[in-house]
Amino acid sequence: MTNNNLNKLLVFCVLFCAQKTSIVHGAQALETKVALLLHAEPENPKCFAEGMSDLTCFWEEDEERAGSADQYSFIYTYQNENSSECSVTALPAAGGKRLYFCRLSQTQLFVPLDIRVFRDELLIHNRSLFIELVFLLDPPANLTLTSTGTQGQLKASWLPPSLKYMGDSMMYEVSYTMAGSHIGKVEEVQASSELILRGLQSGTKYKVRIRVKLDGISYSGYWSTWTDPVLMETMPGDLDPLIVSLSLIISLVLTLLSLLVLMSHRRFLLKKIWPIIPTPESKFQGLFKVYVFASLEYETRYEEWLGHSTGGLWLRPAYFYSEEFPAPLEVLSEVSLGPALPSSALPPKASEALGEEDEDEKLKRVDSALMEGWRETPQEHWPMDQLRAIHQHPAPWTQSSLLESHDAYVTLNAQNHSGEEPLDDILEETLPLQVLFASGRTSSESRSDLGSFQQSSGLGRLSSQSSFEYPNHTWPPKGPGYTYMAVADSGVSMDYSPMSSSKIDDIGKGVIYTNEYKNEIPAHRRPIGTPIHFAF
Amino acid sequence: MSSISGLVAVLLTVLQWAGRGLPSPVRPICDPRVLDRFIMEARDTENALRGCKAGCGVTGTFVVPLTNVDFVVLETKDTEEQALEVQSGLFLFGQALGAVRESVSRAAVKSLIDNNKSNIHSLGQVLRSLHIKDLSLSPAPAVGDSATRKVSSLSELLRVHTNFLRGKVRLLLTNAPACQQNST
């Protein structure tokens, strides 16, 4: 028994508390609606319907004028019906006022309703209304925001007020603003319970609220109060695929353009990045030297020669004095050349030597020129001469042996020379540096390894060519086989052309050079006549 | 031969004409916007003729149905009962509007009344589509006088007409079983 009583008491308490909560909640809702209608409805009494079968009317009175609820009478009359009375209740209000309420629990719609309010038999309010036109609904419940999966969109869904027959007459207003902002947008939707908000910013928090009203065709009323705002963040911004693809295309196009520009100007760029070491070949033709052999003595000779030629305009010993000297492959014994030969006789005779002359005479003349050039040097070695001499005479040379050698050739191709002395000078300057091998007849055919020297100072052209390939040359190599290397020395750079030959015999019989002389003098070199040949 | 073919053609045409008047099964018209349009037009007519002087020259009394709706009571009524009320009411309004049309002289008023009359006729079609018998054209239904009342002015008539459409007719269409099957 005691337990049962306790249980009943407990249940009663719970129900009472729940009811109290709902009453409190109901009272709060009523307060907001009253406040809303006080603002929205000018007529008195202010009436509103919350559901399908109810009507709540109220009016406001100042405290000094207000009386008790008993003093008031609320009389309502439906069309073609008898009047009825509603009991009035009073509630205190803010600002020193009192509110008087009357609530009908059973109503008729679509008929006019006359309301009269009396205070102590005095009519204070008179109003005729249609109840279906004064609906004031509760705001929608369960407003939720969800993501639609699309950028800049949110889906708002809610629970419509549960009024039968009126679901398709309801109109909603959705207000959404960015969190923290006061500027918002409003969207209306009819007879629906969800709405997709579009055009929102990505990655932004939005505040959404909603209110409801009947559409006014069959039923009408006032806008409900706003729901409590619901916050939701939109999807974070994503790279627009269009922008990404356009950026890729533009970068690709720029890359291609830059590649094209680089390819078209690669030579220029290479010159800038990897500059070609300038060579004075074009300006100092005929300075190239081909060494079959290089020795230290020859280097000395070369230096001495450089010392002689300081006067030349186009000779810059300091400039030509290259640090690169041909590396010696073999050391030969020194050979001192003979006494100076008369030089005066040579130049004109050198010119006359073109063509068919006695070879010996030619050779002697050139030899004299050579000697003349070398007369100032105590030890004059001509590498080629030495080599040739070695070919022929392995024993130490003498000048006479050199002269007697038939293997050493110095050819001098002179053309249009008009002066002896200048030519003489030229000979002095050029001859010691060069071993001239040329076949006059085949000079045009032979591949020149040396640049042809051209003296354009009015002395005519003195071109010297040397080549290892002269089919008809009279350079009978005899003697032991030799492997040697030809070196072209322009004074600035050295061009080594390796070649091998088991026998010296083969030198002139075929092409020995496999590498073409790079400092080939272009076509302005004039073909010369038959070179002067002389043999030792 | 040509005369026979001509006769056949005429016969076919006549039959086609007659065939139009025959009732044919139609889809249920459940869209509330259809009735909403009728309601709005009735309201517009009521507003337009409210300021009519001397009742626009309309005299006499008209029998109109009651328009009040009590939802509590409505719950107890079935569809057939509601349908009966609606159909008798529409019939009464048709009669009254016909009589009004004869009384008025202004063309503008006449056109408005004609519009409302055609709307009432269309409502009969709608009811038929919902498998509710249209009694608007038939003789006075077996409805007691308690369900009717008398009005003496055009504005009152039009107001009652509007209220009737907004209330009873709409509720009937909303609750029609044919439309309930489609909705959730």
| pLDDT one-digit tens code per residue, A103-150 | 999 999 999 999 999 998 899 999 999 999 999 999 999 999 999 988
Mean pLDDT for chain A overall: 70
In sequence order, which residues have a C-beta less than 8 Å from that of residue A240 and are 6 or more positions away?
none
pLDDT at B143 over 70: no
In sequence order, which residues have a C-beta less than 8 Å from that of residue A29 and are 6 or more positions away?
A138
Taking Cα atoms as reference points, which of A321, A335, A311 lies closest to residue A287? A321
A217 secondary structure, DSSP code:
S
Contact A396, A379 (CB under 8 A): no
A110-114, A332-336, A395-399, A506-510: which is most confident: A110-114
Q: Residue B21 has which token pair?
A: 């008047």
CA–CA dist A381, A292 (Å, integer): 13
In sequence order, which residues have a C-beta less than 8 Å from that of residue A420 and are 6 or more positions away?
A344, A347, A348
A237-246, A285-294, A454-463: which is most confident: A237-246
Q: What is the mean pLDDT of residues A58-73?
A: 88
CA–CA dist A287, A278 (Å, integer): 15
Residue type, A306: L
> Which has the minimum average pLDDT: A300-309, A494-503, A522-531, B133-142?
A522-531
Q: What is the mean pLDDT of residues A434-451?
A: 42
In sequence order, which residues have a C-beta less than 8 Å from that of residue A55 and are 6 or more positions away?
A47, A48, A49, A103, A104, A107, A113, A131, A134
CA–CA dist A319, A393 (Å, integer): 37
pLDDT at A369 over 90: no
> Which has the minimum average pLDDT: A462-466, A491-495, B87-91, B160-164?
A462-466
**Structure confidence at residue A380 as a pLDDT band (50, 70, 90):** very low
Query: What is the pLDDT, as a whole number, of residue B39?
Result: 95
Taking Cα atoms as reference points, which of A489, A497, A527 lies closest to residue A281? A489
pLDDT at B158 over 70: yes
Give residue-wise pLDDT tens across range A401-418: 444 444 444 444 444 444
> Which has the minimum average pLDDT: A40-49, A228-237, B137-146?
B137-146
Beta bridge partners of A456: none
ipTM of the complex, rounded to two decimals: 0.79
Q: What is the DSSP string of A460-471?
A: -EEE--B-S--T
CA–CA dist A430, A302 (Å, integer): 11
A335-339, B30-34, B180-184: which is most confident: B30-34
List CB contacts (< 8 A) between A108 and chain B: 68-70
User: If interface means Cβ-Cβ distance under 8 Å, which residues of chain B face chain A?
Assistant: 32, 36, 39-40, 66-72, 149, 163-164, 166-168, 170-171, 174-175
- Beta carbon pairs, A and B, within 8 Å: 52
* Residue B66 distance to chain A (closest CA, Å): 8
Nearest residue in A to B169, CA atom: A218
In sequence order, which residues have a C-beta less than 8 Å from that of residue A376 and are 6 or more positions away?
A308
Q: Residue A40 has which token pair?
A: 């929205």
List CB contacts (< 8 A) between A168 and chain B: 32, 174
* pLDDT above 70: percentage of residues in chain A: 53
Taking Cα atoms as reference points, which of B101, B94, B86, B82 lies closest to residue B119? B94
Contact A410, A370 (CB under 8 A): yes
Task: Look at strands A55-62 and A482-489 and give their pairing.
Answer: unpaired
Give residue-wise pLDDT tens across range A77-96: 998 899 999 999 999 888 88
Cβ of B67 within 8 Å of Cβ of A53? The answer is: no
Give all strands (DSSP E) within chain B, no chain letters: 62-65, 148-151
Cβ of A79 within 8 Å of Cβ of B171? The answer is: no
CA–CA dist B163, A311 (Å, integer): 131
Task: Look at strands A122-130 and A112-119 and give their pairing.
Answer: antiparallel
Q: What is the mean pLDDT of residues A279-303?
A: 62
* pLDDT above 70: percentage of residues in chain B: 84
pLDDT at A175 over 90: yes
Query: What is the pLDDT, as a whole number, of residue A535?
Result: 43
**Structure confidence at residue A451 as a pLDDT band (50, 70, 90):** very low
CA–CA dist A332, A397 (Å, integer): 10
Q: What is the mean pLDDT of residues A424-431?
A: 46
CA–CA dist A467, A438 (Å, integer): 6
Query: What is the pLDDT, as a whole number, of residue B133?
Result: 66
Q: What is the mean pLDDT of residues A439-457?
A: 41
